[in-house]
Amino acid sequence: CPCGRFETRSAADSGYARHVASGRRPSVGFGASLCPPDPVRVRYNQPLIEETVNANIKRILVCSAWPYGSGLPHLGNLIGCLLSGDGFSRFYRLRGYEVLHVSGTDAHGTRVEYEAARLGITPGKLASQVHQAIGRVLAQFEIGVDNYTTTESPVHHEFVTGVYGDMEHNGYIISQEEDRAFCRGCSRFLADRFIVGTCPRCGYLHAQGNQCDACGALLEPEALRAPYCAFCGSTDVVSRSTRHWYLDLAKLTPDLLGYVESRDFRGNVKLFTQRLIQDGLRARAVTRDIAWGIPAPFAGAAGKVIYVWAEAALGYVSATIEHFRRLGQEERWREF
């Protein structure tokens, strides 16, 4: 409400009725209390954006979500990440901030490899074509991204390899033998989207190995009922032993709890995260048995690649490094 109060629905409804009865124009929202209709700055139940910014920080890194390299994003993808990131960047530049806006094409993973096989081309060629097409769309829409790169960038490969090599050296990476779905029809392990079957939770017939699009359940490929290979359609799917490498999140529990408790997160976000950590963090696999991706740098991991979700998130950092490396300012990325 323009008077500065954020009202409950019941109060707002009665306020709206009073406005109508008095002939005053209510403000936008659930309604409004009886307040002067003068043009004043509307304040919500959260602080205005300029009040939340530390006046000593004049540098902002804007990270827009990366579109998949399996095909052109639809309009909602464009608006939801890249366009909004550009608008946010422009706003802060107008306020005198130094802003760096980075994003790029997520070129790896089972989605890209599967779509490339369907089209009869290599994953690298598909990802490159999509990357160039997205670049043209950004130019046509005049969406500004300081560095729109790709996870196929040599800088990204170098950075990801270094990060996971350091994590292994520091004791945060463990490995274990496990049984994984294997197609005897085309002789490949069926990770994530390479396997299709019936969801064990809701019964949807076309759930994929990493999640069910019908009920949203996160799945393991081995949990699917009546599984078949997404490539050749064979139902001759068996379990075969393989070794995978994991990020041992439990070792980070004290550091994560300390970080969450020291930050000014919203109450519900903080409670949810604290409960998640206190309930016990499971080790998460960071390797996959697929052909397309960044080779895993771990000893004995020949033929494995880093799981796409475990490497693409590092792209925000590698894109920043790449941007300043092109400018000949090798270490300036650390300022962001």
Per-residue pLDDT in tens (0 to 9) along the chain, 336 residues = 444 444 444 444 444 344 444 444 433 333 333 444 433 333 333 333 444 455 566 899 999 999 999 999 888 888 888 999 999 999 999 999 999 999 999 999 999 999 999 999 999 999 999 999 999 999 999 999 999 999 999 999 999 999 999 999 999 999 999 999 999 999 999 988 899 999 999 999 999 998 999 998 988 888 999 999 999 999 999 999 999 999 999 999 999 999 999 999 999 999 999 999 989 999 999 999 999 999 999 999 999 999 999 999 999 999 999 999 999 999 999 999
Three-state SS at 157: helix
> What is the total residue count of the chain?
336
CA nearest to 69, candidates 114, 28, 29, 34: 114
Query: Cα–Cα distance between 183 and 195 in angstroms, integer?
Result: 9
Q: What angle is formed at CA 216 by the lines to CA 245 and CA 306, rounded to 5 degrees? A: 20
Dihedral sign of CA atoms 201, 205, 211, 213 in order? negative
d(CA 160, CA 308): 11
Same fold across 54-152+309-336 and 161-308 = no
pLDDT computed for residue 55 by the predictor: 56
CA distance 68 to 204: 25
Q: Residue 54 has what pLDDT?
A: 54
pLDDT score, position 309: 92
CB atoms within 10 A of CB 225: 11
The Cα–Cα gap between 211 and 196 comes to 10
Query: How far is the C-alpha of 65 from the C-alpha of 77, rounded, in Å?
Result: 9
Give helix 123-140 / helix 110-119 axis angle, nearest 10°.
100
Distance CA 106, CA 65 (A): 9
Distance between CA atoms of 70 and 131, rounded to whole angstroms?
9
Q: What is the pTM of this model?
A: 0.78
- CATH of region 161-308, choose from 1.10.3720.10, 2.170.220.10, 3.30.70.1710, 3.40.50.300: 2.170.220.10
What is the edge-to-edge ordering of all strands in the sheet holding 284-285?
188-189, 173-183, 237-247, 284-285
Q: What is the C-alpha separation between 281 and 126, in angstroms, rounded? A: 36
What is the structure's pLDDT at 4?
Answer: 40
- Domain map (residue ranges) of the chain: 1-45, 54-152+309-336, 161-308
Residue 79: per-residue pLDDT: 86
Place of tokens 């990131």: 85
| String of DSSP letters for 126-144 | HHHHHHHHHHHHHHHTT--
pLDDT of res. 56: 65
CATH architecture designation of domain 54-152+309-336 = 3-Layer(aba) Sandwich (3.40)
pLDDT at 13: 43
